[in-house]
Chains A and B, each alone.
Chain A
Amino acid sequence: MADFETPEVKEYLDIPALKRGVMGNSKPFVSKEQFQEPLGFPGELVDNWQQVAVDKLGELLKTNRGLQVFMDSCVKCGACTDKCHYFLGTSDPRNMPVARQDLLRGVYRRYYTLPGKLFPKLVGAMDLTEDLLDQWYSYYHQCSECRRCSVYCPYGIDTAEVTMAARDIMNAVGKGQKYSNEIIGKVFKIGNNLGLPQPALEDTLEGLEEEVKEDTGADVRYPLDEEGAEVLLVTPSADFFAEPHVDGLIGYGKVFHQAGISWTLSSHASEAANFGLFIGSMENMKRIAMRIREAALDLGVKRIVFGECGHAWRVAYSFLNTLAGPFDFLDPRYPVPQHICEVTYDLIQRGALTFDKSANDHRRVTFHDSCNVARASRMGDMPGGQFIIPREIIKAVCNHYYDMPPDTIGEATFCCGGGGGLLTDDLMELRVKGALPRMQALKQVVEENGVTHLAAICAICKSQFSKVLPYYGFQMDQIVSVHQLVSDAIVLGQKQ
């Protein structure tokens, strides 16, 4: 399959002995000029890159309190050292969150603190050399920005923020990552990550309508650019055709249909994902977010709803209001934005949907909490709603539901291994190894409860699991969308 070994899944998840530098060669393809320029970054490594990098770091320290506090506060207690799935899966000590931070912290100390200027060796300060830049490129692309480490750090130090800062600096000196930057360019140019133009979208959606009609006999609509619809649905573009994503999209349509809510997709904002987050570029993140505001205004909708996508939901829930608000032109009775799970859950609570749970009887389901939904957002009106609502939906449509062990779900959830801009084939080894903790937890419920399916609400999780499940002896179709389960159980037509 590949030139690396899939880690062995054991009874328990061991903390591995350190193997220095084993992942030092893991690097994604470097971006090229044509992908850098549309984002406002230099096309190749600039001549005075050291100076530019150090200056950029200084600017970030001044404009982002979190980074400044995180650089100063770490006491090297070690509490985070066994929390990262990439460390657990690869044994490379540089993948311990604090060690990852230290690649940047060493430079911070060298150029911005007195002891680092006077006694670099003593305090672990480092000159920004070409070799160090290489290590940055390698190890800051072995962090999925999942925030698991930040849950356990006594000062809440969030390695995701450090990774974003480092990637932002690397982009500023012209050493960007091809995968993320190329995709952002497509969003600017065409409107979505996959580069699907409006006519292709229209075709796809028409196809879906026919398919659902054939399957169920119901006229469920999948509208595009319909002015005056009540809801603008913004969903990851993978939902338009990839499996199992598209089954989720079919599900959203059925929910809206059954609830009698008019809705539309937008070809201008045909992508929920915001890779500006991954590369730590607030300007690009803002520019991507603005499309959603523009689409909502153009189409005259009253509500914005996001489809199943993890980090997209983080940007939507936590940042959209800051980046592209205020949304005072929308219906104030609904939160802006809403998650499709919140919509479905409310409808279930109100008794507006009918389900035939037996339609899912061939499945025994567990739920993977996506990292950015779990630790960087919320659903509903109480803390932790992001854990309750998707599970309640699944339980409303399935008879057999089982949770994975408690230290692998909820706020302690493990990332799928492909988040944060790492879902690219040039990082396959990292992705497979980083999935180990999740695979271990999955194996446990498969053996103990006969679980057959892993449900998720994130496009990256779904793509990542489709790809890595087979490495661990599972089938690629064991990953399902939550709204695929809804879709299979929902009873369409007149409510009895």
Chain B
Amino acid sequence: MSFATVFFALLFYAATAIFLIGVGMRIARYARAPAPLKIPTTPAPTTRTGVVGRMVTEVVFFHSLFKANKWIWILGWVFHLALLLVLLRHLRYFIEPVWTWVVLIQPFGVYAGFAMIAGLAGLWVRRLFVERIRYISSPSDHLMLALLIAIAASGLGMKYIWHTDIPAVKMFFMGLMRFDFHPLPTDPMLLIHLSLVAALMIIFPFSKLLHAPGVFFSPTRNQADNPRERRHVTWISSAEKPAAPAEQ
């Protein structure tokens, strides 16, 4: 067994563990922290069902962003949709036999790779050339875009130029899931692609990528606007008055 095989096997175990535990702990933190007051951004739905509808328009269509800025919206939305397709396309590395719908989306997944790069590039151009957005960007914001573009580009590179042994890659990942190591091909483009993906998984729970779970916990979006109809009871409801000198 080659060094690369062992190294990448351990890397992916570690990356998966960090990703799952890290994100899990964040979610637990969000869930545990109380929302002391009702703060939905109004007009807001008055029922739970309405809130589900609002969340769907946010998560699927980026409704607020659409209202805010059409450029950021179209670039961001194309990127995320493409990312979703690309991820689904990669399911074929983890299941056997491959589900029919996963087979069917394979070609779209490839186009999505290009759309992903286009969307990311557009966002980066804005980050570099729109003065307001440049002002609010840290080095990590640029690096994140670079990382995502590099992942997409290395993937497409393998598809079109530097081919690798796909069945062997699949064997490797199927094996990983059963703690059974199969040799990983050592084409440089593949190793680059996999290293970057592992890096992304490791960074995820410590970075702004937390917006993915975060959006579901955002009280301005996920609370129903019904404070008069239903009393929202939290720690502040039962808190004592502050220990300040009494009046008079």
Interfacial residues, chain A to chain B (CB-CB below 8 A): 15, 17-18, 37-40, 61-66, 68-70, 72-83, 93, 96, 98-99, 102, 113-115, 121-124, 147, 150-158, 161, 188-189, 282-284, 286-287, 290, 317-319, 321-323, 325-326, 335-337, 374-378, 381-384, 386-387, 411
Report if B26 contacts A (CB, 8 A).
yes
- B1-32 vs A, CB cutoff 8 Å, 1 = contact: the mask equals 00000000000000000000000001001100
User: CB distance A287 to B38 under 8 Å?
Assistant: no
User: CB distance A386 to B43 under 8 Å?
Assistant: yes
Interface pairs (25), CB distance under 8 Å: A15-B132, A61-B33, A64-B35, A69-B30, A69-B214, A70-B218, A73-B208, A73-B215, A75-B208, A81-B132, A81-B136, A96-B136, A102-B136, A123-B140, A124-B140, A152-B67, A153-B64, A154-B58, A154-B68, A156-B219, A282-B37, A286-B241, A318-B38, A383-B225, A386-B43
Residue of B nearest to A73 (CB): B214
Q: Tell which of B43, B67, B126, B221 touches A378, judged by Cβ atoms closer than 8 Å.
A: B43
List B residues 215-244 near A (Cβ within 8 Å): 215, 217-221, 225, 227-229, 231-237, 239, 241-244
- Interface SS of A by simple majority: helix
User: CB distance A318 to B37 under 8 Å?
Assistant: yes
User: CB distance A284 to B242 under 8 Å?
Assistant: yes
Contacts of A114 in B (CB 8 A): 206
Contacts of A80 in B (CB 8 A): 68
Contacts of B239 in A (CB 8 A): 282-283, 286
Provided the pairs A66-B220, A73-B211, A282-B236 are in contact, do residues A322 and B242 lie with their beta carbons within 8 angstroms? Answer: no
Interfacial residues, chain B to chain A (CB-CB below 8 A): 26, 29-30, 33-39, 41-46, 58, 62, 64-65, 67-69, 72, 76, 126-127, 130-133, 135-141, 143, 206-208, 210-211, 214-215, 217-221, 225, 227-229, 231-237, 239, 241-245, 247-248
User: CB distance A74 to B208 under 8 Å?
Assistant: yes
Q: Which of B34, B67, B132, B219 has the most CB of A within 10 A?
A: B132
User: CB distance A78 to B130 under 8 Å?
Assistant: yes
Contacts of A322 in B (CB 8 A): 36-38, 227, 231-234, 236-237
Cα(A319)–Cα(B39), bound, Å? 9
Residue of B nearest to A160 (CB): B39
Provided the pairs A83-B68, A93-B135 are in contact, do residues A325 and B237 lie with their beta carbons within 8 angstroms? Answer: yes
User: CB distance A122 to B220 under 8 Å?
Assistant: no
Give min CB distance, B61 to chain A, whole Å: 10
Contacts of A318 in B (CB 8 A): 37-39, 227
